[in-house]
Amino acid sequence: MVAVFLSGVFDFKGVGAMTQDPRVLISTLWSAARVFWVRLNLLLLPYWKSEAKLKAFTYLFVIFALVILNSQVIVLNSNNGARLMSALAERNESAFWQSYPIGLLANAALSILKVFSSFVTGLLIVRWREWMTLSFMERYTQAKSFYKVNFGLQVDNPDERIEDIRLFVKETVGLASTLITCISQLLTYVVILFSISREMVPTMLVYVFVGTVVTLFLGRKLPSLSFLQLKKDADFRFGLAQIRVNSESIAFYNSEEQSHKYASEKLDEAIENNQVWLRQRRNLEIFTTPFRDFLEFTPMLLLAPLLFGGRLNYGTLFQACSAFSHAGTSLSFLATQFSELAKYSAAVSRLGGLLETMEHPDQKQLVTAGQETQIITAEVSSLVLEHLCLWTPDHQQLLVDDLSFSIGPAEGLAIVGPSGSGKSSLLRAICGLWTEGSGKIGCPDASKCLFLPQQPYVTLGNLRDQLTFPSLNRTYSDDELQNVLSRVDLSGLPEQFGGFDANVAFADVLSLGQQQLLAVARVVLCAPQFVFLDEGTSALDAEHEKLVYDLVTSNRATVISVCHRQAVLHYHRKILSLLGDGKWSLK
């Protein structure tokens, strides 16, 4: 993995500039190398220590065995090829027909070994990708990590980065397999070269060393360009996804031109970076391509005098040229695989950065007056706030200052105030999404609470899934579900969409008002003790809004509402007014 490590060293902003201060350069390179190596270990080791390690090591053993067997067949084929070429040069028909069948069998064996090696390698890639993707998804969806990562914009396009696992696993297995093959072939062909001419081995070492140094210099910008390419491609795909997700809004605004302009700009950025990458790779391949091709011609200069002097036959010369070429290619792994290493380095940086952020999503919390600020949360039977000071995540605006109150069962709290005063932000803090500030928040267990945002979450699934969300364990009969839909005035949905098990894009076919009523149906089914409504009835008329509050309060649920309409205030015993600049009043 030394070659991969060296590739990671160059994946660091500013290294390409090559500062003139050697101490700064060494420090920068060492810092980049440490970051890369730590991230690589975080990505590589878990799978090989997991419950799937037995099967993984079995695949690896089979691949290794096939590589060793392949090397032995190569030696046999090389020696036989030398005899075959000598027989042709000497017009020795009996020797030719003696060697020819062996060559056919050896090449057939090599083909079979290649096919099986490719198949087993593919199985390892599929299994590793599956395990690693599930592991990332588990981290991404636990403890609201997905919210913190996306909200804080700590990494770009986290969902696209998870998709980079495919590239990472494929490149890891591919590069490791190539490296094993190179080591095996190197040992095999060096022995052949040493038996023909001892002078050829040091010549090959010097040739490869010079080629590697030049390759590192010419390709030093490729890793960072590969990293940018993955990012810009992800930005472009995200832009297209936004058009699909917000298609109705775009159509209402007649903003097709602006949407096209944004997506085109992202495409232009990706194409521009790709062109720079191609030019850098062209410059590299101007050297690496002839470097590989000339490997076969170099031994001719050393061995031609021996051939002309009669001390070497043509078959041995052919074998030496082939051995020199294969051994040199194997030893120059870094030079010949540098473009792939650059892509691999970029994938490691993106995935490693995402993994670090998911492991410590709050690590970028700001510090005030030398003290890290953090709201303390606790699980209690009612809603209790003690001396709460709430700031925006960037710590630029104080939303609530020294707020204290308690809400008991069935009391209810209405949160009112002008736009931007922090009403929804206070709910985020109560639900544990925002933690920047000080004080204490006591709230019932999450299983006893249900949050209804202004834009309800409509899942990917059938109507039954929409109603039972977010519960995973409870099941309901069709009659129970139909009864709930009738209570929220949505009784016609099953007939309209073909039953409870029909899969429809409900986010597209239901109005916002219907989606809000669907969210209320979930409340009726779950019967939580606390219901948080963040303008969860904003799209409903007064009659349906009254219906919602009557349903919610009839189950003696405690309602915490962000609301603007006076008509619903009587459903709450306490009213909290946020006045701005941290000021508030409680009635």
Residue 371 bridge partners (DSSP): 368
pLDDT of residue 257: 82
Residue 456: asked if its preceding bond is cis (omega within 30°), the reply is no
Nearest in space to 430 (alpha carbons), one of 373, 386, 470, 366: 386
Q: How far apart (Å, rounded) are the C-alpha atoms in residues 398 and 254? A: 38
Q: What is the DSSP letter of 560?
A: E
Confidence of residue 271 (pLDDT cuts 50, 70, 90): very high
**Is pLDDT above 90 for 131?**
yes
Each residue's pLDDT tens digit, 441-450: 998 888 888 8
CA distance 235 to 241: 10
Please, are residues 197 and 305 in contact by the beta-carbon 8 Å criterion? Answer: no
Q: CB-hemisphere CA count at 13 Å for 523?
A: 32
Look up residue 85 and give its amino acid. Answer: M
Domains and CATH numbers, the chain: 2-359 (1.20.1560.10), 407-437+445-586 (3.40.50.300)
pLDDT surpassing 60 at residue 9: no
- The chain-wide mean pLDDT, for the chain, equals 81
- pTM of the prediction? 0.68
SS3 517: helix
* 363 vs 509, residue with greater confidence: 509
Count of Cβ atoms closer than 10 Å to residue 555 Cβ: 14
Work out whether strand 398-407 and strand 558-562 pair parallel, antiparallel, or are unpaired.
unpaired
pLDDT of residue 368: 40
Q: Check residue 440 and give its pLDDT.
A: 92
Looking at residue 425, its pLDDT comes to 87
Could you tell me which residue, 311 or 531, shows the higher pLDDT? 531
- Proportion of the chain in helix, strand, coil states, percent, rounded to 5: 65, 10, 25
Give yes or no for residue 5 having a pLDDT over 50.
no
Q: What's the pLDDT score for residue 587?
A: 81
pLDDT at 69 over 80: yes
Q: What's the CA gap between 1 and 546, in Å, rounded?
A: 66
List the single range of 6-15, 238-247, 262-271, 297-306 with lowest mean pLDDT.
6-15
**Residues 341-370: tens digit of each pLDDT:** 777 887 888 888 888 877 765 554 444 434
8 Å CB contact between 489 and 516 = no
Which of 353, 339, 352 is closest to 223 using CA atoms? 339
Q: What is the pLDDT of residue 28?
A: 63
The whole-number pLDDT of residue 286 equals 86
What's the pLDDT at 18?
46
Query: What local confidence, expressed as pLDDT, does residue 4 receive?
Result: 46
In the predicted model, is pLDDT for residue 10 greater than 50?
no
Give the confidence band of 567 by pLDDT, cuts at 50, 70, 90: confident
Residue from 225, 259, 227 nearest 243 by CA = 259
What are the structure tokens assigned to 417, written together?
A: 């105030």
Summarize the confidence of residues 192-203 as an average pLDDT. 77
pLDDT in tens, 488-503: 999 888 888 888 888 8
Q: How far apart are CA 489 and CA 496, in angstroms?
A: 14
Q: Give the 3-state secondary structure of 332-399.
A: CHHHHCHHHHHHHHHHHHHHHHHHHHHHCCCCCCCEECCEECCCEEEECCCEEEEEEEEECCCCCCEE
- CB 352 within 8 Å of CB 42: yes
Neighbours of 206 (CB within 10 A): 9
Q: Is the pLDDT of residue 224 over 90?
A: no
* pLDDT band of 303, cuts 50, 70, 90: confident
CA 16 to CA 285: how far, in whole Å? Answer: 19
- Residues with Cβ within 8 Å of 183's Cβ and at least 6 positions away in sequence, in order, are 330
Measure the CA–CA gap between 237 and 263, rounded to whole angstroms: 9
What's the whole-number mean pLDDT along residues 99-115?
87
Quick: pLDDT tens for 314-351.
777 777 777 777 777 777 776 666 767 777 887 888 88
SS3 316: helix
CB 385 within 8 A of CB 403: yes
| pLDDT (tens digit per residue) in 404-456 | 998 888 788 899 988 888 888 888 888 888 888 889 999 888 888 888 888 88
Mean of pLDDT values over 137-157? 73
500 or 27, which is more confident? 500
Per-residue pLDDT at 58 exceeds 90: yes
Q: Which of 17-21, 28-32, 194-198 has the lowest mean pLDDT?
A: 17-21
pLDDT, average across residues 49-75: 87
